[in-house]
Amino acid sequence: MGLEDNYVDIIRKAEKGLNKKIYSSDIDEIARELNLNARALKKIKEGKYKPEDFDYGRKYDGLKVVNIRCEFYGGHVNAYLVSDDDDNCFIVDTAQSPERIIKEIKERKLNPRFILLTHGDGDHTYGKEKIEKEFGIGIYSEGNLNDNQELKFGDRKIKAVKTLGHSRDSLSYSIGRFLFVGDLIFAGSLGMANYSYSKLLESANNVLRFPNDYFIFPGHGPATTVGEEKENNAFIV
């Protein structure tokens, strides 16, 4: 899977966030003016950054992730199923594909416990009621979760953390070495700062304080790791 954002996308997001227009074609100058990572920006422009492929076929500390992707404006939007050794699972976002999520759960004979929403954009929430009704499960989001609140999942806990920036209602979820960040962080880039650019940067840097070997599952584009984004994300300086 290719990156969600290309070089031009990144420049436009930074310009919008800072309310500044850059006319230079020199990457080093652009990076200075927009407070971007010049080395990472060059790699992305040259097509030299691709995070290591995540192995969706294996379990990590007893947890397995299924990625459900749906085409969205020339790219893809992601939803995830996360299951444990007892075949319990939870759902992260809907990728506007409730039928596919329901089909995957039934084919894999999983026992869904709840739906987690990273934010309220339609491509992440459409069809949530259909999944809720099909399995008789609850939905958690910023509307009914507090910052740093923990949810029980089997003998594990999922922590919900407010990660404002892309939207006012953005949440990220952590369980084991897995981080589900919605439209906060993309491989090599960040989401659009529809709420606050400064909060977006702050939230991204907070997430990247996790250990380098933690996996990041974004709302769009390929999975990545904390370590890879520290080195290769154009917004991390």
- Whether 237 is in a domain gets the answer no
- Whether 206 is in a domain gets the answer yes
Q: What is this structure's pTM?
A: 0.97
Residue type (1 letter), 105: I
Asked if residue 73 has pLDDT above 80, the reply is no
- Whether 51 is in a domain gets the answer yes
Sign, CA torsion 29/34/39/44: negative
- Whether 220 is in a domain gets the answer yes
Cα–Cα distance measured from residue 216 to residue 2, given in angstroms and rounded to the nearest whole number: 15
Q: Which one, of 140, 148, 147, lies nearest residue 120 by Cα?
A: 140
Cα–Cα distance measured from residue 157 to residue 56, given in angstroms and rounded to the nearest whole number: 21
- Quick: pLDDT tens for 91-130: 999 999 999 999 999 999 999 999 999 999 999 999 999 9
Asked if residue 71 has pLDDT above 90, the reply is no
- Whether 2 is in a domain gets the answer no
Task: Dump strand ranges (E) for the chain.
Answer: 64-72, 75-83, 88-92, 111-116, 138-140, 149-153, 156-162, 171-175, 178-182, 185-186, 189-190, 215-218, 224-225
- For 203, the enclosing helix (H) or strand (E) is helix 197-207
pLDDT at 92: 98
pLDDT at 204: 98
CB 221 within 8 A of CB 1: yes
- Quick: pLDDT tens for 11-63: 999 999 999 999 999 999 999 999 999 999 999 999 999 999 999 999 999 99
- For 65, the enclosing helix (H) or strand (E) is strand 64-72
pLDDT at 75: 77
CATH number at residue 32: 3.60.15.10
- Whether 43 is in a domain gets the answer yes
> Structural domain of residue 208, as residue ranges?
7-232
- Whether 1 is in a domain gets the answer no
Joined together, the tokens standing for residue 129 give 């009621």
CB 65 within 8 A of CB 56: yes
Sign, CA torsion 210/213/217/218: positive
Asked if residue 163 has pLDDT above 90, the reply is yes
pLDDT at 174: 98
Structural domains counted in the chain = 1
CB 185 within 8 A of CB 204: yes
Q: Residue 52 gets which letter from DSSP?
A: P
Cα–Cα distance measured from residue 136 to residue 140, given in angstroms and rounded to the nearest whole number: 14
